[in-house]
Structure formats: C-alpha cells, structure tokens
Amino acid sequence: MAANDRSTLLGTMPMTRLVPKVSIPIMFSMLIQALYNIVDSIFVSRFDPNGLTAVSLAMPFQMLMIALSTGMGTGINSLLSRRLGERNVEGAKRGAWNGLLIEVLGSCLFIIFGLFLAGKTMGLVVSDNLANKESILSMGTSYLSIVTTFSIGLFTAIFFERMLQATGNSILSMVSQMSGAITNIILDPIMIFGLLGFPKMGVSGAAIATVVGQFVSAGIGFTLNQRKNPELKLVRKYLKINRHDLSGIVSVGLPSTIMASIGSVMNIGMNAILSGFAQSNAALNVMSVYFKLQSFIFMPVFGLSNGIIAILAYNYGAKIKERVYSCIKVALCWACVIMLIGTFVFMVFPGQLMSIFESEAEAEITAQMTDIGIVAMRIISSSFLLAAVGIILSTVFQAVGRGSYSMFISILRQLAVLLPVAWLIARLTGDVKAVWWCFPIAELVALVLCLFFYRKCNNKMLAKL
C-alpha cells in the first residue's frame, strides 16, 4: 500500500487487529508519560516533602494548560480523520494549518498567565492551614511560572502527535511522545539535585526538565510529520485561515477542553475541601499521589481512546456502520480488561504503592499519607470499571461530532456530583477517609447518563448510516 493510502487501513483492516495496532503504541507512550509524571513527584518528594505539596497545588493549573492543548488536539484529530475518510486530502491539509493556529493561540494565553498571574494564582490556593506556607508558595509559583511561560513546546508537541494519529500512524506518534518523556526522566534528577555540574534547582529543576522534554517532543514530532506523514505534511500552499475548519475543530475540541478543564476545577475544589482537615498536608499529598498512580491505569485507556477516535471518525465519515459498531465493542473489551487489572493492583497493593513516595525528612506526614492513602486507593479503585465504559462511550460522541454530550457528562460527574458529595461527606463525618467515596458515587451517576446519551446518539446517527 502506498504511503499516502496509509489511512485507508482505518477502513479495511479487521477491527480486532486494527484497534490494538493503532492504540497499543499510543497506550505505551502514554504509560511512559505517566511514568515521568510519577518520577517527577518521587524526586520532588525526596528533595523536599513540601515540594510535593507545592506541585500538588500547582497541578490543577498545569492541567488546564494540558486540557486546552489536548482538547483542541482531539478536535484536530477528529476533523482530519473525517476529511481523510471522505477522501478530501486537500481539505485535511488545509485543516491541519488551522489546527496549528489554534494550538499556538492557546499557548499564548498561558504565556501571559505565566508571566503575570502565576504568583497571584498560587497565593489564592495556598491555605493558611498548611505548614511551611511561605516555602510552599515560593516553590509552587516557580514551578507554575516555568511550565506555563514556556508552554509553546507542549502545544506544538500535542499538535504533531495528533497529526500522526489522524492517519493511523501511532508508532511515529509514540516515538514523538516517548522522546519527550525519556528526556524529562533523564533530566529530572540532574536538574532537581544538581548532578553533572548543574546547580541544585529543586522544584524549579523539575519544571525545567518538563519544558525541555516538551520541546524535544515537538521537534521530533514536526520532523516525523514532514518526512513520514505525506497525507498531512504541512505545505505552504494550503496555509489559509478557514472559518469552517476552525469551527469544525473548536466544535469538538472545546467540549473536550472543557471536559478536561473540569478535572482541574474538581482538583481545586477537592484541595479546598481537604485543606480543612487537620492532616491537610498529608491529604493533599495523597490526592496528588493518587492522580499520579492512577494515570498508570487510566493513561492506557486514554491511549486506547486516542487511537479509536481516528478509526471511529474515519469509518463514520465513510458511512461504514458495521465497522463503527465493531470498533466500539473491541475498545470496550480492551478498556474493561485494563481497568480490572488496575482495580486488582489498587485493592491488593495500596500500601506498597504509597511507600514509593515515602520521605525520611517528614516521617509524621509520610505516616499520615500512607494511612489515608491505603483507604483512598481501595475506595476510588472500586469505580475503575465504571470509568472504562464511560471513557469509551464519550470517545464515540467526540468522534461523530457530538462532543457536547461528553462535556455534559463530565460537568455532572466532577462538578454537579463529585464536589457536592465530597463536601457533604466531609461536613457530616469529619473523617478525611470517608471523603473518597465521592469518586465511585460520581462515576455511577455519570455512567447512567452516558448510556442514555449513547442510546440517543445510536438511534439518531449510527443506526442510520
């Protein structure tokens, strides 16, 4: 098959082979990304336990940046895959330029934030109840300023990854992602602890390592796209701002961005609730550690989601109903198996997972973290299987241009249910260990709504192909 017909694999290969072929490289690269997020936290906690708290409080705002870049990346992926499914290669190449414009504008927003608002923002979330407040504020401000001011690396890296994924070129996408992740992992101890002649930079060093990794990923992604992805190679003659292309990307990308951003709002809200407990430092760290650890389970499912969105969008654009249904079934099987494995690990080995982040410098906080963390891991992981189904069905909505359904479900789960339930449990019980039940309660409510929307989407769109 010719290189410029690579995307036709999305419409011909048996689905039981195509889904893993496209998704496994993405899943693997996202596992590597999850690893470097955890490595970041491990090194920071060993350098200074207060540094972990600082990064935990900065994380929701960093997540907003990631939400915008990946959300618009989802819109770009969906648009380009549908254009290729319609055999409109020129339209896809023109759409790619408009996608790049959107990502660059998104980066500009966070550059302004990093230059002028990072310190003030951290000042709003660092509670007076925290021990070593000034140190945490200083480290959090430094970290957040660096990762946002130099965000262009992240936004362009995501753009080129999605370009490669849109044609089913997930192995090259994996290479691009892994290059940045490996760079970050290598640089973390060097920058944080001051090895190989570098100064000891602590939390700031972790931020610099992250930014350098993102620029490496962007550079390699650009090179691979231009040399190995002819269907979507950036060519100047297609450089033209097109409102139809922009609206097509934003119509899917904005709901996806809002969905991911809601996670940041939820995180900020949970941090505020947890800050009210006597063990606030330990509880905040548990929240951060949980999200780092659960990414090892959720990132492969998100990788699966990123892989199938191109398959679903291509076959939906080509009006091949049987392949759309087949892709959904295969993806659900993969997602449920991954989540079952994750549930087992979190239920059986929570103490061992928490021990990775132990620090001798703050024995009391470490002991509290382990005590709270064991309970939290077991409670939250009881909802993993529910989340698997929700993630795959939400991907279906995005692939067929109904991202608003996914957005509504996320709003319900993380804002309308999770935070109010967490606040209510905290008020009624006064027990930080009970608060974690808000997660499975929210997932159950969200799944019911997700099934309702899928039935609606199926009856009005998929069944009529």
**Domain spans of the chain, in order of start:** 15-464
Confidence of residue 363 (pLDDT cuts 50, 70, 90): low
Q: How far apart are the first and last CA of the chain?
A: 27
In this predicted model, what pLDDT tens digit does every residue of 383-439 receive, in sequence order? 999 999 999 999 998 888 787 888 888 888 888 999 999 999 999 999 999 999 999
The C-alpha atoms of residue 46 and residue 362 are separated, in whole angstroms, by 10
Report the number of secondary-structure helices (H) and strands (E) in the chain. 18, 0
Burial class (CB in 10 A: 0-12, 13-18, 19+), 93: buried
Burial class (CB in 10 A: 0-12, 13-18, 19+), 239: middle
In this predicted model, what pLDDT tens digit does every residue of 188-218 receive, in sequence order? 999 999 999 999 999 999 999 999 999 999 9
pLDDT of 120 reads 93
pLDDT of 287 reads 87
Percentage of the chain surpassing pLDDT 70? 96
Q: Do residues 172 and 23 touch, judged by C-beta distance below 8 A?
A: no
Q: Do residues 258 and 407 touch, judged by C-beta distance below 8 A?
A: yes
pLDDT of 362 reads 64
Q: How many CB atoms lie within 10 A of CB 410?
A: 23
pLDDT of 3 reads 42
Q: Give the rounded distance of the alpha carbon of 155 from its chain centre.
A: 13
The C-alpha atoms of residue 319 and residue 11 are separated, in whole angstroms, by 10
The C-alpha atoms of residue 114 and residue 119 are separated, in whole angstroms, by 8
Radius of gyration, alpha carbons of the chain: 22
Cβ-proximal residues to 28 (8 Å cutoff; 6+ apart), any chain: 174, 178, 303
The C-alpha atoms of residue 393 and residue 148 are separated, in whole angstroms, by 32
Q: Do residues 192 and 139 touch, judged by C-beta distance below 8 A?
A: no
Give me the chain's average pLDDT, please. Answer: 88
pLDDT of 78 reads 83
pLDDT of 259 reads 72
pLDDT of 7 reads 58
In this predicted model, what pLDDT tens digit does every residue of 289-324 receive, in sequence order? 888 888 889 988 988 987 888 888 888 888 888 999
CA quadruple 293, 296, 298, 302: dihedral positive or negative? positive
In this predicted model, what pLDDT tens digit does every residue of 365-384 receive, in sequence order? 678 888 999 999 999 999 99
Q: Please give the average per-residue pLDDT across 81-98, as a whole number.
A: 88
pLDDT of 348 reads 95
CA of 332: how far to CAs of 16, 160, 321, 373, 387, in Å? 12, 27, 17, 29, 11
Q: Please give the average per-residue pLDDT across 333-338, as a whole number.
A: 95
Q: What are phi and psi of 241, to 5 degrees?
A: -70, 125
Cβ-proximal residues to 7 (8 Å cutoff; 6+ apart), any chain: 81, 84, 85, 166, 167, 168, 231, 314
Cβ-proximal residues to 433 (8 Å cutoff; 6+ apart), any chain: 372, 375, 376
In this predicted model, what pLDDT tens digit does every residue of 241-281 receive, in sequence order? 999 999 989 988 887 788 778 888 898 899 889 988 877 77
Q: Do residues 410 and 258 touch, judged by C-beta distance below 8 A?
A: yes
Q: How many CB atoms lie within 10 A of CB 90?
A: 11
The C-alpha atoms of residue 301 and residue 314 are separated, in whole angstroms, by 20
The residue ranking higher by pLDDT, 445 or 402, is 445
In this predicted model, what pLDDT tens digit does every residue of 123-165 receive, in sequence order? 988 877 777 788 889 999 999 999 999 999 999 999 999 898 8
One-character DSSP codes across 398-438: HHTT-HHHHHHHHHIIIIIIIHHHHHHHHHHH--TTTGGGH
The C-alpha atoms of residue 134 and residue 56 are separated, in whole angstroms, by 15
* Ordered alpha helix ranges (H), 131-201: 133-149, 152-166, 170-193
- 172-181, 278-287, 414-423: which has the highest mean pLDDT? 414-423
Residue 12 is encoded by which pair of tokens? 């011909």
Cβ-proximal residues to 119 (8 Å cutoff; 6+ apart), any chain: 141, 145
CA of 345: how far to CAs of 291, 319, 353, 355, 381, in Å? 15, 40, 9, 14, 9
Q: Give the rounded distance of the alpha carbon of 406 from its chain centre.
A: 15
Q: Please give the average per-residue pLDDT across 8-12, as a whole number.
A: 76
The residue ranking higher by pLDDT, 5 or 231, is 231
pLDDT over 50 (residue 51): yes
pLDDT over 50 (residue 227): yes
Confidence of residue 234 (pLDDT cuts 50, 70, 90): very high
